[in-house]
Amino acid sequence: AEAAAHQAQKQQAIGQLVSGIAHDFNNMLQTVIVSLSGLQDEADELSPQQRRMLTYAVEGARHATALTRRLLAFARNQPTRPEPIDLGDLVENFADFARHGMGGRVGIDVLRQPGPLPIWIDRHGLEQALMNVCLNARDAMAGMGTLTIQVGDRLLEAHAAESLREHPPARQVFVCIADTGGGMSEEVRQRLFEPYFTTKEGGSGLGLAQVYGTVAQAGGGVEIESDAGIGTRIRLVFPRYAGALYSAV
């Protein structure tokens, strides 16, 4: 648990660093762009060669602005706006959307337990996390097979009989994504939440770090079971949200 908390801290630190730099850099770029635009207004007095160079400079600054926007969007993947969400609804909507993104030869089956499954989490962070898990599953299945997504709730197993007398039984809400891919080695299993750890050519190694950070900030955890040749099950587990899902008006 200590190592896990350490990973969450690391992930958060990366997010803060990136957004801080992107923000400051963007401010400096705006100064550059305003100055260059001022020069462009005086373009009549410039030679064609100078005008061309000015155009390149403006274009470069605009590209750089777009990059800072992408960096800010990345940093925003840190959950910042948690709200009450029904995990069953969100997963079903997500699956409808993800079926298109996965490619035609990956199927997604959703098994949803009836009844409300409320959790308290940042919606975009959670959607991103589900997508990261599903993309990994697709990669593990070499683009062909079926993903089974189960969503439901369960009694918190750790609750001792004694505390059950004092408190109502605590429930957890979970979503479990099972693939039929090749599974992973123990060494990979140990390291997969580390930012930048990847076994893929061109992989970022940030997918599961984002998953971990998002789930941990909602007070939840990630459980992984993997069998070589059979597949991997990744379960995101959350405390069940006790408040109302939709506030009555």
Query: Does residue number 203 form part of the binding site for ligand ADP (CB under 6 A)?
Result: yes
Altogether, the residues listed in the chain come to a count of 249
Taking residues 128 to 167 in sequence order and writing x for each that binds ligand ADP by CB under 6 A, - otherwise, the string is ----x---xx--x---------------------------
DSSP for residue 112:
E
Taking residues 208 to 227 in sequence order and writing x for each that binds ligand ADP by CB under 6 A, - otherwise, the string is xx------------------
For residues 40 and 198, which CB has a smaller minimum distance to ligand ADP in the complex? 198
Determine the Cα–Cα distance for residues 131 and 88; give it in Å rounded to an integer: 16
Residue 152 structure tokens: 């439901």
DSSP for residue 42:
T
DSSP for residue 46:
S
Query: Does residue number 207 form part of the binding site for ligand ADP (CB under 6 A)?
Result: yes
Beta bridge partners of 105: none
| Residue whose Cβ sits closest to ligand ADP | 207
State which of residues 17, 28, 73, 188 lies at the interface with ligand ADP (CB under 6 A): 188
State which of residues 29, 215, 232, 235 lies at the interface with ligand ADP (CB under 6 A): 232
For residues 137 and 215, which CB has a smaller minimum distance to ligand ADP in the complex? 137
> Interface with ligand ADP by CB under 6 A: which range of 13-21, 33-41, 165-173, 207-215?
207-215
Determine the Cα–Cα distance for residues 143 and 133; give it in Å rounded to an integer: 14
Q: How far is the CB of 150 from ligand ADP (least distance, A)?
A: 15
178, 150 Cβ separation under 8 angstroms: yes
Q: Strand 171-178 and strand 118-122: pairing? A: unpaired
Q: Which amino acid is at 148?
A: T
Determine the Cα–Cα distance for residues 184 and 107; give it in Å rounded to an integer: 21
**Residues binding ligand ADP (CB under 6 A):** 132, 136-137, 140, 179, 181, 183-184, 188, 192, 197-200, 203-209, 232
